[in-house]
């Protein structure tokens, strides 16, 4: 029969070294070759779910066919992959026709696929797609449901395995980019039994017991089965439930899980998640430098504007008219003060002789009364003039005091009194505007609102 197994036994007369002829032994390579030749006679049609698909090799595409109890390694060529009329992906349920083959050096057998066609959806993939449709209908994938990421997070929770490369990628990247951020790691199992429960508990821990600014959920790449915890409704609901943003960095670029879709930000790798979580140090330094420069320009501009206002006020018509009017009023007051006592004396002197003649005449009495009235009117006018001058001087002095107060409020000394300081080079006296202008040990003079300090540079950033 064609399927009858015929073993290439050695000749009965052949005797190997150390082995009697009646007990002939086969080498390991002979056994593996016999098994390969026997297996390659058999063509099989296998139904299974694709798992562990790896198509990044030059000639072959490697994957496994699995069911609930076992898995079978398989391969096909890149040319066969390009000729398929469906998308070959993890979780797809297929029918594969091919021959079994044995890799002699390793003693492992595999299925060399000659024909591959779809056979419905795989159970795992079907469950994932159903969950996606359910959560999408609830609006959990929409952008408006996403929480914004904090610009400068200082406390970050990390949920991942403490044994894989993901934890190293996240911590090294975040510490390098933004040293002020503190990372708090909650180690969990990321695949297999208990993974879902541990991941959900860790997320709840950072939300309820140990508040942070955001949470990174990360793990390395793997098959669809390895990533199964991140495709569960329990983990998806735990992510949505958090009051702080969640960044996922699960697997590699092709891997998009349900957790990625509900997260507030998705990165393709754990390193990418850390980069999305924190700003780069150079970016922060540029922002601070720009803010300091802007503050300096605003203060300088305000001081210059105040100085111009003071100069303008002193040159303006208000200031000049105050001086001019005050001068005119003072001159008039002085002339009136001089003329007031002299005028009656001159009149009396000139009229003394006439008055001597007219002393007893009624006209004399009327003249005396008229002079008294005029003297009273002049005194009233003098008093009104003095009060007007005093009011104008007081008003002008108040305006000048207000202008002076505005200018003083904009002066550098007033800024220092509000808690700022100015740092000068101890040797040159020039202003220090950035840490790049000084070296360790450089002497400094620091001017405060009250007093000065002397210091040396012991460190800089």
Residues 6+ apart with CB under 8 A from 304: none
Q: What is the largest CA-CA distance in the chain?
A: 190
Nearest CA to 236 out of 210, 266, 211 is that of: 266
User: Among the residues of 410-435, which ranges form H helices?
Assistant: 412-417
Enter the CATH code of domain 127-279: 3.40.50.2300
CA distances from 418 to 302, 409, 414, 448 (A): 15, 10, 7, 10
CA distances from 399 to 279, 319, 404, 409 (A): 51, 9, 9, 16
CA distances from 186 to 74, 160, 426 (A): 38, 7, 50
DSSP 431: B
User: Among the residues of 2-50, which ranges form H helices?
Assistant: 28-39
Question: Chain centroid to CA 280: how far?
Answer: 9
Per-residue b or e along 97-133, where b marks 16 or more CB atoms closer than 10 Å to that residue's CB:
ebebbbeeeeeeebbebeebeeeebbebbebbeebbe
Hey, which residues does 66 pair with through a beta bridge?
49, 71
The pLDDT of residue 2 is 40
Instruction: Spell out the per-residue pLDDT of the chain, length 461, in tens.
Output: 344 444 444 444 444 555 555 678 888 888 888 888 888 888 899 999 999 999 888 899 999 999 888 999 999 999 999 998 788 888 888 999 999 988 888 788 899 999 998 876 566 787 888 899 999 999 999 999 999 999 999 999 999 999 989 999 999 999 999 999 999 999 999 998 999 999 999 999 999 999 999 999 999 888 888 899 999 999 999 999 999 999 999 976 676 899 999 999 999 999 999 999 999 887 777 777 777 777 777 776 777 777 677 666 666 665 555 555 566 666 776 676 666 566 556 655 665 666 555 555 555 566 667 777 878 877 888 788 888 888 888 888 888 888 777 776 666 666 777 777 888 888 888 888 888 888 888 898 888 878 888 888 888 87
Second-level CATH architecture of 21-121:
Beta Barrel (2.40)
Q: Give the CB-side neighbour count of residue 454, counting CA atoms within 13 A.
A: 4
Cα(146)–Cα(158) distance, integer angstroms: 19
Give pTM, 2 decimals. Answer: 0.45
Q: How many residues does the chain have?
A: 461
The pLDDT of residue 450 is 80
Q: Where are the beta strands (DSSP E) in 85-206?
A: 92-103, 108-121, 155-160, 182-187
The pLDDT of residue 263 is 97
The pLDDT of residue 368 is 67
The pairs formed by 17-25 with CB atoms below 8 angstroms and a separation of 24 or more are none
């Amino acid at each position: 029969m064609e399927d009858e197994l015929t073993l290439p036994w050695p000749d009965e007369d052949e005797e190997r070294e150390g082995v009697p002829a009646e007990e002939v032994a086969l080498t390991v390579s002979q056994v593996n070759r016999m098994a390969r030749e026997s297996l390659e006679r058999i063509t099989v049609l296998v139904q299974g779910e694709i798992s562990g698909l790896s198509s990044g090799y030059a000639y072959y595409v490697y994957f496994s066919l699995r069911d609930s109890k076992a898995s079978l390694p398989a391969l096909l060529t890149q040319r066969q992959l390009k000729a398929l009329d469906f998308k070959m992906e993890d979780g797809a349920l297929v029918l594969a026709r091919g021959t079994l083959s044995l890799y002699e050096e390793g003693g492992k057998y595999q299925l060399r696929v000659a024909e591959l066609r779809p056979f419905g959806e795989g159970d795992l993939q079907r469950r994932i797609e159903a969950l996606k449709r359910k959560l999408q209908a609830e609006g959990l994938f929409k952008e408006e449901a996403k929480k914004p990421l904090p610009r400068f997070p200082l406390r970050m929770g990390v949920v991942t395995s403490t044994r894989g490369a993901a934890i190293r990628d996240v911590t090294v990247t975040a510490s390098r980019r933004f040293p002020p951020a503190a990372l708090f790691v909650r180690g969990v199992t990321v695949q297999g039994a208990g993974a879902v429960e541990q991941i959900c508990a860790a997320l709840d821990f950072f939300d309820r017991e140990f508040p942070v600014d955001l949470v990174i959920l990360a793990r390395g790449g793997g098959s669809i089965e390895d990533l199964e915890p991140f495709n569960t409704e329990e983990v998806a609901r735990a992510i949505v439930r958090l009051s702080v943003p969640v960044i996922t960095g699960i697997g590699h670029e092709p891997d998009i899980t349900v957790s990625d879709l509900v997260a507030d930000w998705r990165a393709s790798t754990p390193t990418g998640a850390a980069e999305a979580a924190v700003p780069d140090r150079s970016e922060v330094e540029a922002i601070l430098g720009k803010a300091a420069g802007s503050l300096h320009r605003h203060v300088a501009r305000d001081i210059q504007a105040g100085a111009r206002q003071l100069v303008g006020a002193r040159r303006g018509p208000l200031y000049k008219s105050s001086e001019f009017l005050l001068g005119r009023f003072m001159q008039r007051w002085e002339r009136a003060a001089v003329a007031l006592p002299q005028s009656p004396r001159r009149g009396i002197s000139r009229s003394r002789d006439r008055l001597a003649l007219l002393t007893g005449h009624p006209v004399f009495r009327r003249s005396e009364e008229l002079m008294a009235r005029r003297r009273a009117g002049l005194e009233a006018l003098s008093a009104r003039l003095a009060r007007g001058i005093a009011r104008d001087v007081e008003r002008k002095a108040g305006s000048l005091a207000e202008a002076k107060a505005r200018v003083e409020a904009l002066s550098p000394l007033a800024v220092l009194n509000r808690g700022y300081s100015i740092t000068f080079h101890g040797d040159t006296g020039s202003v220090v505007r950035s840490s790049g202008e000084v070296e360790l040990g450089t002497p400094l003079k620091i001017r405060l609102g009250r007093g000065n300090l002397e210091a040396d540079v012991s460190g800089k950033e």
